Amino acid sequence: MENFIVSARKYRPQTFDTVVGQDPISSTLKNAIRTNHLAQAYLFCGPRGVGKTTCARILAKTINCFNRTKNIEACDECESCKSFNSGHSLNIYELDAASNNSVDDIRNLINQVSFAPQIGSHKVYIIDEVHMLSQQAFNAFLKTLEEPPKHAIFILATTEKHKIIPTILSRCQIFDFNRIKIEDTVGHLASIAKKEKVKAEEDALHIIAQKSDGAMRDALSIFDQMVSLSGDSITYKSVIENLSILDYDYYFKVTDALLSQNTSASLLIFNEILNKGFDGHNFLNGLAEHFRNLLVCRDETTLQLMEVSASIRERYKTQSKKTEPEFLLRGLGLLNKADVQYKASRNQRLLVELTLLQLCSLQSMGANTEKKSEVIGIAPIPSSPPRSAIALREGEKAETVQKSEKVVSVVKEAAAVYMKTTTEPVAQKISSPPLPPKEIPVRPANGKIPIKGNMLSISAMTNGNGAAKIAGKTTAAAHTSTSAEAKDLLTAWNDFAESFKKKNKINLYSTLTSRKPVQEGDSMISFSVLNQVQEDEINFLKTDLLVFLRSEMKNPGIQFKIIVDKSDIERKPYTGEEKFQRLSEKNPALNSLRQKFNLEIDF
């Protein structure tokens, strides 16, 4: 029984021309070999499975080939190429930095660099997952990486470029590998299926390519899995069942139900999807992707943005003719909102069902918007007419038009009356003499209408300029209540300090109560502190203190300043030298004693 070799190893590219999806990088490396402009260090970075290690091996093989072709490819016939193909080449040294990431491992590598190659012209060192090296190992590698021997070339490969220190990056030529396009992946899988004599549907290969997310190694692993499941025939149905992928048919059915405002059908389709074990969140994302594809395929110039097979693309074109851009844009907004709310929702199924109901109502909302716009005389938003199951009869349409015309005429008459009433008083003010003051009733607190003797005139309520006056008693009462509510400075200050005492912030409480604030004029308050530390503490509380004082004292114009007062404070000695100076001032004999015996101060 022959040993099975996975497709990722069996069909690994051996030349630059067979590398899939990385043509710019392959061309650059071939030109560097042709012109003999090889750098001492390369850094290949990019996502998994895109050919970083493969290109490193091909570069090492081609450099040491004795009989390179005109297209700058290895010949596979010389002694160097044969030893490389058999895995016994002494010119290529591969190191896995994930398991050899210490300084000792890098030191052993540096010791090997000094030895010249036995066969070929260069010794190539391929370090995979180089971002796993420790900081010390990176630093130990710097000198050798910058100035290696002439025969040494380093090729570093990583999936996380941001973890590599800048001093390493500055010593390398950096090549960024891109994700492999779906079309390139499908073409490569089709060629392998032909070599393996496996019949594969194009739609099935597209699903495999989309599932691989731009990684060829993942695509080949899924391909082997499908071959093990289906044998020599890979179908679209078997792929979506085995990979747990929601079929395109469900999205087309749901969209048709939404366009026809069939709420029951959309809910039943969603229930069927849940019964098959699919997640509601994936359904929301898939439906949003479906709406996006419908928007894209409306224009021939944007068809290239759709990464689906030809048959699926035709289905999208057919359904896009039934939809309007406004419906799709509003639908995408609802789906995006539901996507954000999904994880936080306790009833996730209800959230998805509510979103489907809202999508069903978009068509009727568009129709109502048009009707309202016609009534008030505003241009309606362009949208398609609602697709209802029962069309209006001709008589009903005519009756609707007549009602709309009557409503428009009534609105116009009302607008004319309104304009007339608003312009007449202006003319009366200019031409007519002032009217005598009219009396209006004032409703007392008990809610009863007073008798005629308690009536106040408009002239008593307004001044000569027409501005409203407040009765004297009312003004005095309001002023008295405001004054009663306002606190004096010391009371408000102590209340603010007490709040810190309740929070067990004794230091702040002591600082605030150590001295009393002083009010200068109506709006300036000053507070003196003892040192810089207290000043920093008060500055930290300054904003909250101002808000509190303005609120409690009913004075929004209050300002605040801090004064550091050191005039009457005698600083206490802290260090040993300060203590000695203080004692020597009181007793000068201490200083002479210190000089006589050459004594030192104990700090």
Task: Report the alpha-carbon distance of residue 243 to residue 226 in Å, rounded.
Answer: 9
Determine which of 27-36, 47-56, 123-132, 425-434 has the lowest per-residue pLDDT on average: 425-434
The helix, strand and coil proportions of the chain, stated in percent and rounded to the nearest 5, come to: 55, 10, 35
Residue spans in the chain of domains classed CATH 1.10.8.60: 182-242
Radius of gyration of the chain from its Cα atoms, rounded to whole angstroms:
43
Which tens digits make up the pLDDT trace of 503-544?
A: 777 878 888 888 888 888 778 888 888 777 778 888 878 888
Determine which of 17-21, 386-390, 401-405 has the lowest per-residue pLDDT on average: 386-390
Which tens digits make up the pLDDT trace of 153-171?
A: 999 999 999 999 999 999 9
For the segment 552-578, the average pLDDT, to the nearest whole number, is 73
Q: At what angle do helices 280-296 and 310-320 cross, to 10 degrees?
A: 80
Task: Report the alpha-carbon distance of residue 306 to residue 254 in Å, rounded.
Answer: 20
Q: Which of 195, 203, 207 lies closest to 232 in space, CA to CA?
A: 195
- pLDDT for position 489: 83
Residue 329 has pLDDT above 80, yes or no: yes
Question: Does residue 582 contact residue 573 with C-beta atoms inside 8 Å?
Answer: yes
For the segment 565-569, the average pLDDT, to the nearest whole number, is 58
Question: Does domain 248-367 correspond to CATH entry 2.60.40.1180?
Answer: no
Strand partners, 140: none
Question: Does residue 131 contact residue 164 with C-beta atoms inside 8 Å?
Answer: yes
Task: Report the alpha-carbon distance of residue 343 to residue 374 in Å, rounded.
Answer: 41
- pLDDT for position 406: 55
pLDDT: which is higher, 73 or 410 = 73
For the segment 385-395, the average pLDDT, to the nearest whole number, is 43
Residue 455 has pLDDT above 80, yes or no: no
Provide the pLDDT confidence category of residue 386 given band limits of 50, 70 and 90. very low
For the segment 366-391, the average pLDDT, to the nearest whole number, is 43
Residue 585 has pLDDT above 80, yes or no: yes
Residue 350 has pLDDT above 90, yes or no: yes
Which tens digits make up the pLDDT trace of 478-487?
A: 343 444 467 7
Task: Report the alpha-carbon distance of residue 523 to residue 559 in Å, rounded.
Answer: 6
Question: Phi then psi for 529, rounded to 5 degrees?
Answer: -125, 170
- pLDDT for position 366: 55
Task: Report the alpha-carbon distance of residue 479 to residue 501 in Å, rounded.
Answer: 34
- Top CATH class of 7-176 equals alpha beta
Strand partners, 520: 524
Provide the pLDDT confidence category of residue 581 given band limits of 50, 70 and 90. confident
Question: Does residue 469 contact residue 461 with C-beta atoms inside 8 Å?
Answer: yes
pLDDT: which is higher, 603 or 307 = 307
Task: Report the alpha-carbon distance of residue 520 to residue 533 in Å, rounded.
Answer: 24
Residue 54 has pLDDT above 80, yes or no: yes
- pLDDT for position 332: 93
- pLDDT for position 2: 61
Determine which of 197-211, 273-287, 466-480 has the lowest per-residue pLDDT on average: 466-480
Of the ranges 273-287, 447-461, 472-486, which is most confident? Answer: 273-287
- pLDDT for position 210: 87
Residue 391 has pLDDT above 80, yes or no: no
Residue 461 has pLDDT above 80, yes or no: no
For the segment 43-63, the average pLDDT, to the nearest whole number, is 91
- pLDDT for position 402: 57
Strand partners, 560: 525
- pLDDT for position 522: 77
- pLDDT for position 80: 87
- pLDDT for position 154: 93
Model pTM score: 0.56
Tokens encoding 369: 């918007």
Task: Report the alpha-carbon distance of residue 127 to residue 115 in Å, rounded.
Answer: 18
Q: Which helix (H) or strand (E) holds 124?
A: strand 123-128
Residue 397 has pLDDT above 80, yes or no: no
- % of residues, the chain, pLDDT over 70: 78
Task: Report the alpha-carbon distance of residue 230 to residue 475 in Å, rounded.
Answer: 92
Cα three-residue angle 14-196-227, rounded to 5 degrees:
115
Compute the mean pLDDT over every residue in the chain, rounded to the nearest whole number: 78
For the segment 411-428, the average pLDDT, to the nearest whole number, is 47
Provide the pLDDT confidence category of residue 27 given band limits of 50, 70 and 90. very high
Residue 557 has pLDDT above 90, yes or no: no
For the segment 18-28, the average pLDDT, to the nearest whole number, is 90
| Other residues' Cβ atoms within 10 Å of the Cβ of residue 348 | 17
Q: Which residues contact 345 (CB under 8 A, 6 or more apart)?
A: 351
Question: Does domain 182-242 correspond to CATH entry 1.10.8.60?
Answer: yes
Cα three-residue angle 357-363-366, rounded to 5 degrees:
125
- Dihedral sign for Cα 20, 21, 23, 28, please: negative
Tokens encoding 541: 């509380």
- pLDDT for position 404: 52
- pLDDT for position 559: 86
- pLDDT for position 447: 47
For the segment 362-376, the average pLDDT, to the nearest whole number, is 51
For the segment 581-596, the average pLDDT, to the nearest whole number, is 84
Question: Does residue 508 contact residue 536 with C-beta atoms inside 8 Å?
Answer: no
Provide the pLDDT confidence category of residue 355 given band limits of 50, 70 and 90. very high
- pLDDT for position 490: 86
Task: Report the alpha-carbon distance of residue 538 to residue 545 in Å, rounded.
Answer: 9
- pLDDT for position 416: 54
Cα three-residue angle 141-142-147, rounded to 5 degrees:
105
The CATH architecture to which 487-564 belongs is 2-Layer Sandwich (3.30)
- pLDDT for position 291: 92
In the block, tokens 């496996």 appear at 198
- pLDDT for position 330: 92
Residue 462 has pLDDT above 50, yes or no: no
Residue 421 has pLDDT above 50, yes or no: no
Which tens digits make up the pLDDT trace of 87-135?
A: 888 888 888 888 888 899 888 888 888 888 877 788 999 999 999 998 9
Q: Which of 268, 391, 249 lies closest to 319 in space, CA to CA?
A: 249
What does DSSP say about strands 123-128 and 152-158: parallel, antiparallel, or unpaired? parallel
- pLDDT for position 255: 92
For the segment 14-34, the average pLDDT, to the nearest whole number, is 90
Q: Which of 545, 486, 536 lies closest to 517 in space, CA to CA?
A: 545
| Other residues' Cβ atoms within 10 Å of the Cβ of residue 331 | 23
For the segment 581-589, the average pLDDT, to the nearest whole number, is 84
Three-class DSSP category at 48: coil
Burial class (CB in 10 A: 0-12, 13-18, 19+), 283: buried
Residue 238 has pLDDT above 90, yes or no: no
Task: Report the alpha-carbon distance of residue 154 to residue 143 in Å, rounded.
Answer: 13
- pLDDT for position 387: 43
Residues in the chain: 603
Residue 383 has pLDDT above 60, yes or no: no
- pLDDT for position 425: 44
Three-class DSSP category at 45: strand
